Structure 1
């Protein structure tokens, strides 16, 4: 999937969430909606942890309950949720993310490292 396809999907998911929120009576608006979308990241990260624990069988009471495919799926949910939250905060999320990724890449892999 091309980068543009990812951002088109993020825009559509963002719009769908906004439309759903208004259909349900607009219980959360503006800042509260943004904060809830950011908090959703914690829930998704918790699901990654649960999947890793389940894939490694670290809960002796439950045994192996997940696969590494489940972990990969949950990691994807974290990324999608993060991008939708970023899109909620910044209409120009694509540009914000691209610039930030370039900065992190330069800091991490730039020629200044020895």
Structure 2
């Protein structure tokens, strides 16, 4: 699945959530939700790495929580991009891919 297709599907889920709960979606709302999700990812990571209480979860459940929260962060990044009118594939390619090195090129 391409990132754009994933973004379309996640954005539709977000729109349905907003409709059900009476939320007005905007770039500001999406950015705040993204910030909330990053905080939850940090909390899950701290728990999984023994830097916070275990919350009654075993190590596998803690790993699953980190993965789930990462999914939320990525999903909200995609929602924010849609709300802000950003082509996420182009933005990532323009930011990261110019730094690629040819195979065998030494890191300097």
Question: TM exceeds 0.5?
Answer: yes
Count of aligned residue pairs for this structure pair: 102
Work out which structure has the larger RCO, using CA pairs closer than 8 Å and 6 or more positions apart in sequence.
2
CA RMSD of aligned residues (A): 3.0
Relative to structure 1, the CA distance from residue 49 to residue 14 in structure 2 (aligned partners, 3 Å threshold; closer, same or farther) is same
Contact 2:11 2:79 in 1 (8 A): yes
CA shift for structure 1 position 94 = 2.6
Deviations 1:24-70 (A, max 9, x none): 66x526xxx110101111111111121122223333xx445442232
Deviations 1:52-111 (A, max 9, x none): 22223333xx445442232122122212211221122125333233322324xx1x7576
Q: What TM-score, normalized to structure 2?
A: 0.67
1:34 aligns with 2:31: no
CA shift for structure 1 position 21 = 3.7
Structure-2 residue corresponding to 1:97: 92
CA shift for structure 1 position 112 = 9.5
Contact 1:57 1:63 in 2 (8 A): yes
Structure-2 residue corresponding to 1:51: 44
Distance 1:71 1:109 in 2: 31
Relative to structure 1, the CA distance from residue 112 to residue 16 in structure 2 (aligned partners, 3 Å threshold; closer, same or farther) is same
- Structure 1 residue runs of 5 or longer lacking an equivalent are none
Relative to structure 1, the CA distance from residue 100 to residue 87 in structure 2 (aligned partners, 3 Å threshold; closer, same or farther) is farther
- Structure 2 residue runs of 5 or longer lacking an equivalent are none
